[in-house]
Structure 1
């Protein structure tokens, strides 16, 4: 389910671990860049860019169900902010 959502948004890869993870976008992704900039500005302690296509998130995700929910919620937020 998460892979299908990610693919529809133009996301190539998502990785998560106990300390966070990243979302790697394809060049032709559908997520509004303005929304991503807003995330970076509003929550710089959580989100950071790593190159032109990778959004890192740094948050305690030691609990696996919490990690899956975080990624699912992030994809839902992306789905609400498309170009």
Structure 2
């Protein structure tokens, strides 16, 4: 599979240990991370024209990804 941009370890460089600890020890964080991963993959599929979508649908997915990223960032800061 090709490289998918915006993976969490790229969005939060230097936080790999914290990401792993939160994914394994915090069910809410794990759910957010899984949802982020799914949305990010769908955006990548649309942008690489593997999956069709309207511009509006793509923008909504990007907004969702940003909201998830903000929530994840807040949990990383609190950890």
Task: Output the TM-score relative to the length of structure 2.
Answer: 0.40
Q: Which has the larger radius of gyration?
A: 2
> Quick check: which one's helix share is greater?
2
> Quick check: which one's strand share is greater?
1
